Amino acid sequence: MKKINRITACLLSIAMVMSLAACGGMPTGWKDQSSGQPAESTVSAKPDGAVPPSDTDPVSEAEDAAETATISADELTSEMDTSSSMWELAQRIFPDLILYKSSSGKFTYTPINKDLPLCEHDWTNLTRLSTKHKEFEYVENGETKSVKGIDVSSYQGEIDWEKVAADGVKFAFIRLGYRGYESGKLVLDKEFEKNVTGAIKSGVAVGIYFVTQAISEEEAVEEADFVMETIRPYNITWPIVLDIEEAGSGGSNVRTIGLTAPERTDYVIAFCERVKEKGYTPMLYCAIRWFVEELELDRLTDYEKWFAQYFNRPYYPYEFNVWQYTNQGSVSGIKGNVDLNISMKDFGAKH
Residue 280 belongs to domain with CATH number:
3.20.20.80
Which residues are bridge partners to 324 per DSSP? 308, 341
Q: Which of 70, 90, 111 is the last residue of a domain?
A: 111
Say if residue 89 is in the same domain as residue 229: no
- Does residue 188 form part of some domain? yes
Chosen domain end from 62, 86, 111: 111
pLDDT profile of the chain (351 residues), mean per 10: 54 47 46 50 36 49 61 82 87 90 87 96 94 92 97 98 98 97 96 98 98 98 98 98 82 87 98 98 97 97 98 96 97 97 92 56
Domain extent for 161: 123-343
Whether residue 169 is contained in a domain is answered as yes
Same domain, 74 and 167: no
Helix, strand, coil percentages (3-state) for the chain, rounded to 5, are 30, 25, 45
Position 291 in a domain: yes
- Domain match, 81 and 17 both: yes
Domain count, the chain: 2
Four-point Cα dihedral 228, 234, 239, 244, nearest 10: -50
Query: What pLDDT score was predicted for residue 253?
Result: 84
Burial of 117 (0-12, 13-18, 19+ CB in 10 A): exposed
Q: What is the pTM of this model?
A: 0.85
The reply to whether 201 falls in a domain is yes
Per-residue model confidence (pLDDT) at position 342: 98
Instruction: Quickly list H helices, 254-344.
Output: 261-277, 288-293
Strand pairing report for 205-211 and 143-144: unpaired
216 and 182 co-located in one domain: yes
Please list, in sequence order, all residues whose beta carbon lies within 8 angstroms of the beta carbon of residue 212, skipping any fewer than 6 positions away. Answer: 178, 179, 220, 223, 242, 243, 244, 267, 268, 271
Q: Do 101 and 165 belong together in one domain?
A: no
Let me know whether 15 and 80 are in one domain. Answer: yes
Residue 43 lies in a domain: no
- How far apart CA 99 and CA 104 sit, in angstroms, is 14
Residues 185 and 248 in one domain: yes
154 & 256 share domain: yes
Does residue 328 share a domain with residue 211? yes
107 and 193 fall within a common domain: no
pLDDT digits (tens, 9 = 90+) for 198-245: 999 999 999 999 999 999 999 999 999 999 999 999 999 999 999 999
Is residue 265 in a domain? Answer: yes
Asked whether residue 89 falls in the same domain as residue 198, the answer is: no
pLDDT tens digit string along 90-129? Answer: 899 889 999 998 888 888 889 999 999 999 999 999 999 9
> Is residue 243 domain-shared with residue 139, that is, in the same domain?
yes
